[in-house]
Each structure stands twice: as structure tokens, then as C-alpha cells.
A and B are shown apart, each in its own frame.
Chain A
Amino acid sequence: MASPTSSPVAVNSPTPYQAPAEKPSAPPVNILASPIARTYSYVHPIVLLTLGVFRFEAVVSNPVEELLSDLPWLALLQIEEKKKAAPRSPSGPTVTLRPGKPGLRRKQSAGKHDWAGVWAKLMPAFMSLALTTLLATPVLAALLVLFGAPLTTHNAETLLCGAHMALLSATGLVYTHGVDSAVWKEVWGISRPADAVWGAALGTGLGAWFGAIPIPLDWDRPWQAFPITILAGAYIGSAVGSLISRTPFLYGKRIQFAPEEADEDEKKTN
């Protein structure tokens, strides 16, 4: 597609606030600069939300069936978006993206479909889907159970909810970062600098968290059933997260966790 330029915003932002002891990890990811990629990256969250609204009734009436049949489409959409708009990790799991140079090796334009190009495009897609299915989905489903989702019933719902959340969050991360251990360490520590991919992932989690809130209310609405609100929250969160975290206001910033570490000495005498 396009050459790996970074937006003007990206120049000053990705300075980590906490001095990391380890080697620097990948900087925040920029949406590819081509107009198509830019447009598509804005359209994509909106498409996701629109489809969510469109299929909402069907999910309410038959969650398992509908969520299952949506799954391939969601996967396709997510991969397409990443292919079009996001820089991707190199093909092999062992090779990591070189820091500071997002999308360095992607020189070929969208038109050239030579073998290497196809492979380079397919491999991250394949890998991100495989990891999403095999790792992210079970982990997220387990997390749902730990948060209180039923263990003995509703297994299909939990698993599908996990799968949808994984597609919303993990697919993009794996696609762009591969299995770069420095990046994933930051992911586990929620200390990635904000960018569209990370914003979507974090938004998915936060949205799902907030999505659990209406469940106990006694409104007797069919959509209050598990996991509909959680998924709705996850979809909204991922869309909002991916949109707002690329704004100059947030881009490149990291979530500060414990400022106590900094002012520990002045606050406490020992």
C-alpha cells in the first residue's frame, strides 16, 4: 500500500512516562497514510456498530445461533480492516517488527499481487485468526467466567462472547504486532501507548466491563440476558476506543498506573 510515513502527531508522542528498564517496545501504530486506508479505518468501527445495531434483535431472540453465524463475518471484517488500514507484523512469529519503524518492510502497493505479497498478507491474517481462536477466545471466556459468568450453563454463550471479544481485540493486536514479546508484555500490563489497534482492544475490555452493569436490573428486558449487554459494551467500546485513541489528544499516551512510585519518597518517610 503506502509508504510507512508516520503522521505528524506520532513524532512527539510515543515517549514513555515510566522509564522502562527493558529494551524499548514497538511504538504506537499508525493507520496507513493512504486516503483509502484512512477512510476505511474510520468507516470500519462505524460499520461494526451499524451491523451490531442491525443484528441486535436477532441476537436477543437467539443469541447462540446468531453469534455463531456472525462470527465468520466479523472475522472477515476485522481482517479486511487490518489488511487495508493497519501496518502488520512480519510473517514469522519469531521475527518482530523493528521498533520505531512501523510497517517498514511493506513497500509493495495494493495492486501488486505477487506471491510474496500474497503470502505476506495472508500469513499475519492467518496467524492472527489462529491465535485469536486458540488462545484469546479461551482466555477471554475464562475471564468471563471468573467475573461471574455461569460455569455450568450458558457455555456456548460464554465461548461465543469470548470469541467475539477476541476478534475485536486480539486479532488486531496479533496482526500488527505478531508475537513480539515486548509488545505483549505491555499488553498484559495495559501499558501500550494509545493507538487505534490498542484503543480497540482496551475499549473492548472496558466496554465489556461496563456492559455487565445492566444485567442485574429488574427491567425484565430480553436483551438483559447474558451475554448480550456485555457484547454490546464490547462492540461500542472497541469502536469508540479505536476512534478516540488515534486523536492527537490521546495518541501515544500510556495509562499511568501508580504515580505513587514517583512521589513515594516525598509522601512517606520510608
Chain B
Amino acid sequence: MASTPKKGLAGKAALPNASKQTSRGDPSKPPGVQDEKAEELEAEFKTKHLGVMGVLFWILLIHLAGIYFFTKGFLLTRMVLENKSSCQFLPFDDASAQEIAPANKQEGGCWHQKSFDKAVVIVIDALRYDFTVPFAPKDESESAHLFHDNIPVLYEVAIKNPANAFLLPFIADAPTATLQRLKGLTTGTLPTFVDAGSNFAGTAIDEDNLVAQLHSAGKTLVHLGDDTWQALFPGYFDANLTHPYDSFNVWDLHTVDNGVNEHLFPLLRPENKSKWDVIFGHYLGVDHAGHRYGPNHAAMAGKLQEMDRVIRDIIAALDDDTLLVVMGDHGMDIKGDHGGESDDEVEAALWMYSKRAAFGRTSRETLQPPKHAKERPIPQIDLVPTLALMLGIPIPFNNLGSPIEEAFAGPSGNDWGNLATVGRLTAAQIKRYQDAYAISRGAGDDEESANLWSAAEAEWKTGSKAFASKSTAVRSSYELYRKYQRHTLDVCRGLWTRFDVPSMIQGVVLLVGGIALLVLYARGMKNDRTELTSQLLSFAGVGSGLGAASGSILALFGFTEMSTLDLSILLAAAGSMAGALIAMVKKPASLTLPLPNGMWGWLAVLFTVSQSVGYASNSYTIWEDEIMLFFLTTFGVCAGISSMRQKTPTDRVLGVYHSLLFVIIGRLASFSRLCREEQMPFCRSTYYASSTSSISAPWQLGIPFLVTLILPGVIRGFYAGSKSYEGAATLWIGFAFRLGLLITSLFWMLEGADDGEWLPLSKETLKSVRVFLAQLVLALAFAAGTGAYLYSKPCISISVNKPQDDPNAPPAPFIAGQEQKPRTTVTILGFGNVYGTRFFFLVVNFALAIILLQKPMGQGAIALLVWQILSLLEILDTNNLTLTSSSIGPIVLGLLGSFYFFKTGHQATPSSIQWETAFIPLSTIKYPWTPLVVILNTFGAQILAALAVPLTVLWKRPLQTHDRVSTSPAAKLANPATKLLSDVVQAVCTHTLYLATINLATTMWAGHLRRHLMLYRIFSPRFMMGAVVLAVVDVVLMLFAVGGVRWSTLSVGEIFGW
């Protein structure tokens, strides 16, 4: 297809783009000199390449430092007080109150008369409140879902015997991850965001908590189920009776639950009753069913029914002195995931049951369990004082919860004396905690809580004189204590959202500085960037050394409150930036004003800046996926317009064709959607079988096969455009890539078969076959693919024509303007795109792996991404944007990465992380592979787009070697390979600039809007996503994109010389 003349090449020689005729044997220079020169140039390229990677590493470090300082100040921290409540001392200040003889109190309970000796605490992970109450349609059209009405036992018992049981909505504090919830449920404190990431490797709780108090009260504790408990409370549980199970394998619905049942019921038999005091049983099946299938699935209905039976069995086996608590630690969103702050995620259920009448309601209206979770909800931390006082142990020191009214009101619901007593105890402990916290933090007292406390105390004194539990004074004192407790809770919520603003500003300053330097380095340099490397690195190194030294000195001599390490890091980062700035502006002649020039430059700035401004609005953050499409289509339309202006008809036709293709593919990909909760009701999810499911629909299993059928052919078409479908390309794209995609399709077919139980094979067999297939694909992509990438030849085919075969050959083939006598004519196919096609192999390798790790719908999206990238490259080429190093290419790749992030079933919310993909190539968790797999799944689109960045300057780049260029008058460079490297670095830094700007914008908006209602739902997750994307893409760009250029350039140099 010689119909695509290239400007660069066509200018030099009247040769078709695709094939190049040249002749070997240069008589003017002896071969020895040639080789020496080539070796020199090759060595120079290799050195400079390493240097460039060093520069990118430095940029990564600057970004990490900025993110670190901002995060340190932004993610909320709470001081952990290690004070413990003790049985001997009541929480009151005045000495008179402490005179209660500890000895006899021990019998009936520490601070308060205990009501139960033993307890069975069952946590049904992700038991949402609406699972437990009868389905109540909001309007006539709404019909019951599969998750409704499957666990009726809680509601039934609470209705039938209100004195024996109560059921309440049980509101979790975000983040709704199990580890965070267990902390809240046992310590009674509010979670802070710092711990949110440690769900995988839980750390032991230092604070006073229920389990520790029970343990020190001499109770025998048993834990069954989710092994997070073991991480939080090591050593507290009876080693012989306790049976923890792996909690992370979300594709396994039954192992944990069956394990809990197996060990729980024997303990409930009368002969074993003396062996234990409190059992904590943690079922995970409901949660896993949610993660794997979503709530509206038969598996969820089955699991809930199973839980229903389990609870009925426990009730049957229970004795009179044992309290039964059943609760959810959090809910689940419409897809069955959790972690965030949406209503569905925080609304869990709490149910308490006893064989004897123990519970009361203070009013007739509250006799029935609430119909929905908005009615009479209680915070989850209320469980802590309630359980502590019911079991006769001290309230954990840090508790902020209130006693649950139903548990202390007495069977007839009028035991105001008891309520006032527990209210006073709890309030006193809260006050003690607040005082201790204020002392260690140096904070002042809150006036309103002090007033509330003294008012309550005054009422209490009047009430206790009256000796009548029904007296209004007692009642109002209870209510005042409760008010005090709730008020303190509110104050603490406010207090622990206190941000370390100076640290946040430090982080933002570092990020801004990093962006300024990137702008200068990427867009403001006229000369070859690689020549700057050594100076840049040494100046930055010296600067950071000086900064670190002065930082540690300042900190050691106590000039600042910052820790030595932090100050050293801060000043080292600042110093290195100052050094780099000096290195860059030392020669002003090589600088140019980094302003965009031309429509493309401005368009690139418009995309980046308007997107950054948009993150200030929750709406634009929510609708980011649609906005990305809007921008991409805008680019496509502009590309079409620009193509219409091209002079040569081929450029026009090809340009318009690819612009149209680009726009249409983008719109096609946009049909793959996973809506976030805030997009409802204007969005319909298509990523999974239904909006309440997290498995693929059967028809979607056809997508991988379609990809297998089409994608290799598409890539082949783009290669064939420059006659580059030669050499390794045929084997690689035509066979290996296709094979990998076929195996991937089989994998997902088996996955579907497992979900739908279509095959008469056991789950284990299917699982091991699947894991094998997945590992095979990954081996093909990464092991074989990388090996092949390192050693393969460029995609060219060389045919040798003897002169006598070809008497009418073109009179004098050109080589760099010299006329030769053609002894042998060599025709090289694929000459016009020798750099681009060779480098694209890397994209193919990663595309294969990333496609394997996506759900079927996402595989289609990634395939479209590859197509759209290729289309973009053709647009850049026909519009003369590759050789001019326009900023638009790398920026549009950035947009594509973000766009396809959403098209692969992700959103900027923690709950949309597809954890289960960790089990595609692995059957258990293995570090570091599991996190890597999840990263490849989550940020696959951004990674692929980043890998394609060097192509924006390599695609159809004319071959340049020193002997070719040196004769051309325009060329001043000795080594064309370093020019290529400089262009690659410019493109890579422009791409980084886009992501760094997005990261800065989301960071600054999250910091600025830190009191916004939607902080934790919208701004904070978007900030975290921006930061992670920046770090991941920085690494990918450095190691793989720029790293890969080394091998592709070397392989081209090996054939064509330097």
C-alpha cells in the first residue's frame, strides 16, 4: 500500500513510504570506521537512555513526596489513647462514687448489674437492614428483589416477642470495610481514614476494647470465622476452640460459613457450655455473595435463607442466661460492594435476643422494628457500652457510643432508673475520655458539653433523692445524659476531621513545583533534552543533599515541630527542584516560552485545564466518564477538521477516515458503563448482567471471542498500512496474540460456566483449569512476550534483487543523496514505520495481559482502546503532529486512559475496585502478585495508554541514521538516536504533566473542600485515585515505556546502523 506518502520521507527522496530501496556497500568509507562510529553512537544512546530514566525516577520521587505530605495532613488522624477502663474504678471524678466495694461488684458485674453471663455474638458480614425486614415497596411498580424476605427470623421474633428481641437499623461509620468496622464495634471510637488501606494486613488494636475487657474479666472467648479478628485481637481467644478462616477469597461463598457452623453448634450443646463465655462468630457468605454476584442474585437469596436457618438453630440451642446478638458490620451497595459512605453501604442491622424477657420499649410507637433504615437508626458504636454493661464489664475507655435504650428499659419499658444509671455511667466515661484526650492534645473544653453534663448531674441528684424510678427528674436526667453523649459524638466527629493544613500546603507546593518544572522540561526546551540529563541530575542531587542536610540540622536543633525525617524529605525535594531549575535555566538560549502554539496546543491545554477546574464540582466528578467522551469526540471532530485542511488528498482522506473511526469507537466504547450511585437514576449500568449483579451476562461471554476474532486483524491492518506486517509481526500478532486471546475467551467461558453451573464439573476442577489457563496467558504475554520484545528484529522484510533480474530498475536509488552503482538492490518492506511497529509489540504484550484481567465487557473496551490508540496515531501522522512533538498526542492518550478506566467497569469510588480479579491467575493471595493483578485490572486502561505515549513520536517516524542525516543541511545533530530519545522523553513528560495536573487539581479541591458534605463520597476518593494513577503511570512510563524504547531503538539500529 504505497498510497501513504510521508512528508518526512517524501521530502528527501522520491520513494514510496512503505518500501525503501537501498543498496549495501558504501565504497567511500571503510567498514571499520563505520562500525566504530556506530558503536560510539550506540553507547551514547545507551548512556543517555539510562540518564533519562534517572530523570523520570526523580520526577516520580517529587510526585511521591508531594502526595505524601498532602496525604499526611489530609487523611484524618486521631490520637490513640492507651488508657484502659478498670473494674475497680468507676468513671466518676468525685471520690465518693468510687467507694463501691469492688469485691462484691465482681459478682454482679463491674460498674453495673450485669444481665447476662454469656453471649453469642454473630456478625453476618454485610447484613443490610432491608434484607431483614419485610419488603415494603416505595411505589406500586416496585417489586421485591431476590434479596428481600429471605431472612425473616429476626423480624418475626421481634414482632412476636418484643420483650425477647429487638431489631434496629445499625448505622456504620465510613469507611465501611470490615476491619474498620470491627474496630468501631469493639472500641466504640470513630474510624479515621488512615486505617482504611490496612484491610489486608490488619494490625492489633492498641485501644481499650470489648474483647480486651472481656479477656481481663477472666472470660473465655471463642472466635470463629473471618480471620480479621485474629489480626485485631491476637492472643485473646481460646486457642483450642477458636477457628479462623481466610477472609479475602471472595469467590468462595461457603468455606467460612460452613466452618463457623461446624464449630459453633457443638459449643452450644449443654455439655460444652462451661467451656466458654463469649463466642464471636463471623459469617462471610452474604458479603462474598454480594461481591461476587451482587445482591439481586439467587446465590444471595440462598445465602440469606441459610443464615435464617442458622439463626433459628442457634435460638433453639440457646439457654436462658445467654445473650444472642446478630448484626451486620456494614451493608452493601447496589452491586454488592462496600467501602464507601453511601446509604446502602452504612445501613446494617442489629438484632438482640434472649430467651427471657429482657428488652423493653419506652413507647408504644417503637414496639415494632422500623420499616426502613431511616427510622430510629442507632450508630454501631452504641453496641460497645450496651454489651459492656449487659455483660458486667467496664465500658472501654475510648467509647463514644450510648447505651441502647431497648436493652436497659426493662421488659415493661419504664425502668427509667436503670436507664439513667447506665446513661450516667456511659456519659461519665465519655467525659473522662474527653478530658484525657483534651489533656494529651492540649485542646480546650467544649462549653456546651460542660453545660449539658452539669445539667444532667443536677437532674440526677434530684432524681436520686426521689427514689422513684418513674420520677420525671430521673427521666430527664437520662435524656440529658443521652444528649450529652450524642453531643460529644458530634463534637468528636468534627474534631477528628481536623486536617493538618500546613502539611497539606507543603504537599501542594511540592506538586505545584513539580508541575512547573515539568512544564519547563517538557514544553519549554528547544534543544535535545538528553544533553541536559547529567547536569539536571547532578544539580538535583546536590540540591536534595543540601536540603536533606539542612532539614535534619534544623530539626535536630529544634527549630521546628516537624519530625527530622519529614523535614529532611521536604527540604530535599525542594532543594532538588531548585537545583533542577538552575540546571534548566542556566542556558536561557535553549529555553522557549512554554506556551501552547496553534490550535492543537491550546486544545491540549483546554482539555487539561477545564477538566482540572471541573473537579471542583461534585457533578463533574460524578459524570467524569461522560465528560471524557465529550472531550474525546471534540478531539476527533477537531482532527477531522484539521484533516480537511491537509494539502495532499491521501492525508485528507486517511485523516478524515481515522477521525471518524476515532469518534465512533469512542462512542461505541461508551456503551460499557458501570454507574456510580450518584449517577442514578440517569444512568444504566451495562457492565454486568444487571445493575444489581457483579457477574457478566451470558451474551457478554461472546465479547472475548469477538475480540479474538477482530483485534489481531485490526492491528494487522494498521501494520499493513505501512507494509510492516512482516517479520516478527506475523508470528506475534497473527499467532501468539490471537492464541492468547483465544485462551482468555476460554477462561471467561469457564468462569461463566462456573457462575451459571452449566457444566457437570466440580468447582475445584473448574477453578484449577481456569487458573492454569490464566497463568498460561500471562506467561505468553509477559514471559514469552518480553523475551521476544528484547530480541526480535524490526517488522521489515528485506528482499534482494540481482541487477540482471531487474534491468529496468530505477536508475539510481538514493541513499542520503548519494548516487550509487547498484550492484545489488535491496528492497525493504515496512521501512516507513520501522520504529513504531517495533515498539507497538510492547503495547500488544500488555494489552493481552490486561484483557485477560478484565471482565468480558471490559475486554471489549480494552480492545476498542487499542484500536482507538492506533487510530489516534494515524491521525497524528496525517496531521503532521508526530514529528513536531505536539502536546496533543500524549494528552489525548491521557484522556483515553481516563475514559477507558470508566469503560472497564471502574469508578472513582473504593467500592468499584474489582478485588475478585486477584483470583483470576491465582487461587490464593500471594504477594506481590495479588496487588499487581488488581492494579493491572484497575488501571489497565491508563497503563496501556501510557505505554503508547512513545508511539506519538515514533509512529511512522522516518528512519534516521547519522550518515543519512549528516548530509542533510537541516540536521545539526551527531546522533539521531538521542534526538529520538529526546522526543520520546518530551512526549512522556507531557503525558505525566497531564496526570500531574489532574492529580494536583483533585488534591487541591479535596483539600479546599475538606468540609464539604461530599468529601468522603466524591472528592476524597477522586483525590486518592488521581494520586495512585499518577504514581502507577510514572512507574510504567519510566520502566516500560521509556525502557522499551531502548530495545526497539537498538533493534532498529542493529539492522540499519546508527
| Contact residue among B8, B598, B620, B647 (Cβ-Cβ distance under 8 Å from A257) | B598
Q: Which of B882-938 contact A (CB under 8 A)?
A: 883-886
Contact B629 A147 (CB under 8 A): yes
Using known A-B contacts A146-B664, A147-B629, A268-B884, determine if residue A256 contacts B619 with beta carbons closer than 8 Å: no
Query: Interface centre among A145, A212, A255, A270, by most B CB within 10 Å?
Result: A270
Q: Which of B597-651 contact A (CB under 8 A)?
A: 597-600, 617-620, 622-623, 626-627, 629-630, 633-634, 636-637, 640-642, 644-645, 647
Q: A216 — which chain B residues lie within 8 A by C-beta?
A: 619-620, 622-623, 626-627
Stretch in contact with the other chain, from A81-89, A116-124, A186-194: A186-194
The yes or no answer to A110 lying at the interface (CB within 8 A) is no
The yes or no answer to B667 lying at the interface (CB within 8 A) is yes
Using known A-B contacts A146-B664, A148-B626, A185-B644, determine if residue A267 contacts B972 with beta carbons closer than 8 Å: no
Report A251-270 CB contacts with B as 1/0, cut-off 8 Å: 00001111111011101111
Q: A185 — which chain B residues lie within 8 A by C-beta?
A: 644
The yes or no answer to B77 lying at the interface (CB within 8 A) is no
Query: Interface centre among B526, B640, B644, B664, by most A CB within 10 Å?
Result: B644
Closest A residue to B679 by CB, please name it.
A216
The yes or no answer to A209 lying at the interface (CB within 8 A) is yes
Query: Interface centre among B598, B629, B666, B880, by most A CB within 10 Å?
Result: B598
Q: B883 — which chain A residues lie within 8 A by C-beta?
A: 268, 270
The yes or no answer to B79 lying at the interface (CB within 8 A) is no
Q: B636 — which chain A residues lie within 8 A by C-beta?
A: 146
Q: How far is the CA of A268 from the CA of B953 in the complex (A)?
A: 13
Q: How far is the CA of A255 from the CA of B626 in the complex (A)?
A: 28
Contact A217 B617 (CB under 8 A): yes
The yes or no answer to A218 lying at the interface (CB within 8 A) is yes
Q: How far is the CA of A269 from the CA of B525 in the complex (A)?
A: 13
The yes or no answer to A130 lying at the interface (CB within 8 A) is no
Contact B647 A260 (CB under 8 A): no
Contact B970 A148 (CB under 8 A): no
Closest B residue to A264 by CB, please name it.
B884
The yes or no answer to B873 lying at the interface (CB within 8 A) is no
Q: How far is the CA of A268 from the CA of B971 in the complex (A)?
A: 10
Q: Give the contact-size bracket for chain B.
A: 35 or more
Report B3-25 CB contacts with A as 1/0, cut-off 8 Å: 00000100000000000000000
Contact B644 A259 (CB under 8 A): no
The yes or no answer to B663 lying at the interface (CB within 8 A) is yes
| Contact residue among B623, B667, B965, B971 (Cβ-Cβ distance under 8 Å from A146) | B667
Q: A261 — which chain B residues lie within 8 A by C-beta?
A: 880
Chain A proximity of B139: nearest CB distance (Å): 20
Q: How far is the CA of A269 from the CA of B884 in the complex (A)?
A: 9
Chain B proximity of A269: nearest CB distance (Å): 6
The yes or no answer to A11 lying at the interface (CB within 8 A) is no
Contact A146 B599 (CB under 8 A): no
Q: B623 — which chain A residues lie within 8 A by C-beta?
A: 216
Q: B626 — which chain A residues lie within 8 A by C-beta?
A: 148, 216
The yes or no answer to B979 lying at the interface (CB within 8 A) is yes
Closest A residue to B666 by CB, please name it.
A146
Contact A148 B8 (CB under 8 A): no
| Contact residue among A257, A260, A264 (Cβ-Cβ distance under 8 Å from B645) | A257
Q: How far is the CA of A148 from the CA of B627 in the complex (A)?
A: 9
Contact A188 B641 (CB under 8 A): yes
The yes or no answer to A71 lying at the interface (CB within 8 A) is no
Q: How far is the CA of A270 from the CA of B970 in the complex (A)?
A: 7
Query: Interface centre among A257, A258, A268, by most B CB within 10 Å?
Result: A258
Contact A148 B642 (CB under 8 A): no
Q: A267 — which chain B residues lie within 8 A by C-beta?
A: 526, 884
SS class, residues of chain B in contact with chain A:
helix
Q: A263 — which chain B residues lie within 8 A by C-beta?
A: 597
Q: A209 — which chain B residues lie within 8 A by C-beta?
A: 634
SS class, residues of chain A in contact with chain B:
loop
The yes or no answer to A51 lying at the interface (CB within 8 A) is no
Q: B960 — which chain A residues lie within 8 A by C-beta?
A: 270
Chain A proximity of B960: nearest CB distance (Å): 7
Report B54-83 CB contacts with A as 1/0, cut-off 8 Å: 000000000000000000000000000000
Q: A257 — which chain B residues lie within 8 A by C-beta?
A: 598-599, 641-642, 645
Interface size on A, residues (CB 8 A): 31
The yes or no answer to B449 lying at the interface (CB within 8 A) is no
Q: A212 — which chain B residues lie within 8 A by C-beta?
A: 630
Report A184-215 CB contacts with B as 1/0, cut-off 8 Å: 01001111000000000000000001001000
Contact B886 A146 (CB under 8 A): no
Q: Which of B636-680 contact A (CB under 8 A)?
A: 636-637, 640-642, 644-645, 647, 663-664, 666-667, 670
Contact B619 A269 (CB under 8 A): no
Contact B970 A265 (CB under 8 A): yes
Chain A proximity of B770: nearest CB distance (Å): 34
Chain A proximity of B184: nearest CB distance (Å): 31
Contact A145 B667 (CB under 8 A): yes
Q: How far is the CA of A216 from the CA of B636 in the complex (A)?
A: 22
Q: A147 — which chain B residues lie within 8 A by C-beta?
A: 629-630, 633-634
Q: How far is the CA of A35 from the CA of B535 in the complex (A)?
A: 70
The yes or no answer to A143 lying at the interface (CB within 8 A) is yes
| Contact residue among B620, B641, B884 (Cβ-Cβ distance under 8 Å from A189) | B641
Q: How far is the CA of A256 from the CA of B597 in the complex (A)?
A: 11
The yes or no answer to B450 lying at the interface (CB within 8 A) is no
| Contact residue among A21, A188, A218, A270 (Cβ-Cβ distance under 8 Å from B971) | A270
The yes or no answer to B468 lying at the interface (CB within 8 A) is no
Chain A proximity of B270: nearest CB distance (Å): 60
Contact B630 A148 (CB under 8 A): yes
Closest A residue to B623 by CB, please name it.
A216
Contact A21 B641 (CB under 8 A): no
Q: How far is the CA of A146 from the CA of B626 in the complex (A)?
A: 11
Q: How far is the CA of A108 from the CA of B817 in the complex (A)?
A: 64
Chain A proximity of B9: nearest CB distance (Å): 11
Q: How far is the CA of A177 from the CA of B670 in the complex (A)?
A: 37
Q: How far is the CA of A148 from the CA of B631 in the complex (A)?
A: 10
Chain A proximity of B271: nearest CB distance (Å): 62
Q: How far is the CA of A259 from the CA of B970 in the complex (A)?
A: 20
Chain B proximity of A186: nearest CB distance (Å): 9
Query: Interface centre among B641, B663, B970, B973, by most A CB within 10 Å?
Result: B641
Q: Which of A173-191 contact B (CB under 8 A)?
A: 185, 188-191
Chain B proximity of A157: nearest CB distance (Å): 14
Q: How far is the CA of A264 from the CA of B667 in the complex (A)?
A: 34
Q: A268 — which chain B residues lie within 8 A by C-beta?
A: 883-885
Chain B proximity of A173: nearest CB distance (Å): 15
Closest A residue to B647 by CB, please name it.
A21
Closest B residue to A18 by CB, please name it.
B645
Q: B880 — which chain A residues lie within 8 A by C-beta?
A: 258, 260-261, 264
Report B935-978 CB contacts with A as 1/0, cut-off 8 Å: 00000000000000000000000001000010010111100000
Contact B8 A270 (CB under 8 A): yes
Chain B proximity of A192: nearest CB distance (Å): 12
Q: How far is the CA of A23 from the CA of B995 in the complex (A)?
A: 45
Closest A residue to B12 by CB, please name it.
A270
Q: B979 — which chain A residues lie within 8 A by C-beta?
A: 269-270
Chain B proximity of A129: nearest CB distance (Å): 25
Chain A proximity of B591: nearest CB distance (Å): 13
Q: B617 — which chain A residues lie within 8 A by C-beta?
A: 217
Q: How far is the CA of A261 from the CA of B883 in the complex (A)?
A: 11
Chain B proximity of A264: nearest CB distance (Å): 6
Report A222-266 CB contacts with B as 1/0, cut-off 8 Å: 000000000000000000000000000000000111111101110
Chain A proximity of B887: nearest CB distance (Å): 11
Q: How far is the CA of A18 from the CA of B979 in the complex (A)?
A: 30
Chain A proximity of B873: nearest CB distance (Å): 18
Contact B633 A148 (CB under 8 A): yes
Query: Interface centre among B617, B620, B630, B886, by most A CB within 10 Å?
Result: B630
10 A-B pairs whose Cβ atoms sit less than 8 Å apart in the complex? A18-B645, A146-B663, A147-B630, A148-B626, A148-B629, A148-B670, A259-B598, A260-B597, A260-B880, A270-B965
A143-B637, A189-B645, A190-B641 given; 4 more Cβ-contact pairs under 8 Å? A145-B667, A148-B670, A259-B598, A263-B597
- The 3 A-B pairs with the shortest beta carbon distances in the complex, nearest first, are A189-B644, A216-B623, A189-B645
